Amino acid sequence: MAQRETSPATAAEPKEVLAMITQQKQTRMKHRLTFTGFALAALGLAVAAQPALAQTKVAMLLPGSINDQSWNAQGYAGLMKIKESGYQVAYSENVPAADHVEAMRDYARQGYKIVIGHSGRFLSAAQRVGPEFPEVQFVAGAGGGGLGKNVMSIDYDNTHFGCQLGVLGARMSKTGKIAGVYALEGLPNMVAQVGAYRLCAKRIKPDIEVSIIYIKDIEDAAAAKEAAFSLIAGGADFVAGKLNAAQAGLIQAAKEKNAFTTGRSFGHTAIAPENVITNVVEKWADMYAATADAVKAGKLSGELVMYGYNTPATSGAALQQTPERAYHPAVPAAVVAELDSYKKMFATGEMKLVPTKDDARGGK
């Protein structure tokens, strides 16, 4: 299909271009190209000192739907923030694993100089394609590493926020049993968050019971709901989670059984405002933009960049139940103060966690 691009001179009247990957006609991928502006400095994945990237096109691949009110919606919002800053952007949603490599390669061939895979699951594809396009910056959001000079990962420090959720759960539980529903067992950021959740809950109350269930599909709301029902039936009255579309199933179960739970967006609070005690609201727009501070003039990056309470540019995420408050009103002031103390300990480096796979294990 022929493609049309809006030049900087005509950016005031953007046009939409549809691009299809020839080998992926049978997938559910959607390609939408929206063209705006031309300055790249605010994006942060390239710098003004590199003329070749001065008017870079930026593409993002997402593993699920941008309407999931969770992970994919956050990535899309970050891309739209980039667009508002004056960039030409494109995205593909619902990209299956089998198409990761070819989708990244296709965008690079089309002249996209920054290709973002909004999931750690895109890292292996980026590492495979990166050497073929040494002038393209490949980024894996929530990835666990990099490669060479042009494949990088960025993420927020899941140990910081997983720990706070563990403290919150331990303090708010009346049964002495808390739980979590997760997916992608063994993925580094899952190990970090789930392991920290268990470690910090035990740090507060050594005898507390922490039960974890991993579901097979991070998008499966029905499976998440059934897992949550099982955990609540076993006595858990606080059930955390880090899922995509499946998060809604977890929250619905907590609502029906009157348990506390956690979300990933204000849309999750809206589903069950009396049950969602807080959300881990991830700041992907800030993280993608703040990457500029980690890239030297004229160079691409092959690093893993982690943001948390100890990084001045952005914390990478925040605990927010609503835009106006961090936690449900039921959380006592003393507990809020304790959670703030953990935030300060992470910020100063007084507290550091390195959870293991055993810490993040399924079961008790």
Residue 28 lies in a domain: yes
Please indicate whether residue 27 or residue 106 has the higher confidence score (pLDDT): 106
> Which phi and psi angles does 262 have, rounded to 5°?
-125, 155
Looking from the CA of 254 toward its CB, the CA atoms found within 13 Å total 31
The arithmetic mean of pLDDT across residues 139-149, rounded, is 94
Confidence at residue 174, expressed as pLDDT on a 0 to 100 scale: 98
Would you call 148 exposed, middle or buried from its count of C-beta atoms within 10 A (0-12, 13-18, 19+)?
A: middle
- Determine the Cα–Cα distance for residues 152 and 138; give it in Å rounded to an integer: 6
Residue 212 lies in a domain: yes
Residue 360 lies in a domain: no
Same domain, 100 and 164: no
Residue 236 lies in a domain: yes
Confidence at residue 18, expressed as pLDDT on a 0 to 100 scale: 33
- The residue with tokens 């035990």 is 202
Same domain, 339 and 296: no
CATH code, 197: 3.40.50.2300
Type of residue found at 34:
T
Residue 171: count other Cβ atoms within 10 Å of its Cβ: 18
pLDDT digits (tens, 9 = 90+) for 258-271: 999 999 999 999 99
Same domain, 49 and 141: yes
CB 156 within 8 A of CB 308: yes
Same domain, 272 and 301: no
Same domain, 185 and 213: yes
Same domain, 46 and 137: yes
pLDDT digits (tens, 9 = 90+) for 110-141: 998 889 999 999 999 999 999 999 988 999 99
Residue 320 lies in a domain: no
CA–chain centroid gap for 22, Å, is: 29
pLDDT digits (tens, 9 = 90+) for 67-92: 998 899 999 998 898 888 777 899 99
Same domain, 121 and 211: no
Same domain, 107 and 128: yes
Same domain, 152 and 162: no
Confidence at residue 55, expressed as pLDDT on a 0 to 100 scale: 52
Same domain, 82 and 164: no
pLDDT digits (tens, 9 = 90+) for 176-231: 999 999 999 999 999 999 999 999 999 999 999 999 999 999 999 999 999 999 99
Residue 344 lies in a domain: yes
The arithmetic mean of pLDDT across residues 92-96, rounded, is 97
Determine the structural domain holding residue 289 and report its residue range.
Answer: 8-156+284-307
Residue 327 lies in a domain: no
Residue 317 lies in a domain: no
SS3 of the chain: the string is CCCCCCCHHHCCCCCEECCCCHHHCCCCCEEEEECCCCCCCCCCCCCCCCHHHCCCEEEEECCCCCCCCCHHHHHHHHHHHHHHCCCEEEEEECCCHHHHHHHHHHHHHCCEEEEEECCHHHHHHHHHHHHHCCCCEEEEECCCCCECCCEEEEEECHHHHHHHHHHHHHHHCCCCEEEEEECCCCCHHHHHHHHHHHHHHHHHCCCCEEEEEECCCCCCHHHHHHHHHHHHHCCCCEEEECCCCCHHHHHHHHHHHCCEEEECCHHHHHHCCCCEEEEEEECHHHHHHHHHHHCCCCCCCCCEEEECCCCCCCCCEEECCECCECCCCCCCHHHHHHHHHHHHHHHHCCCCCCCCCCCCCCEC
Contacts 24+ apart (CB under 8 A), 18-24: 19/90, 19/106, 19/110, 21/99, 21/102, 21/103, 21/106, 23/99, 23/102, 24/99, 24/102, 24/103
Number of domains in the chain: 2
Same domain, 206 and 342: yes
Same domain, 178 and 300: no
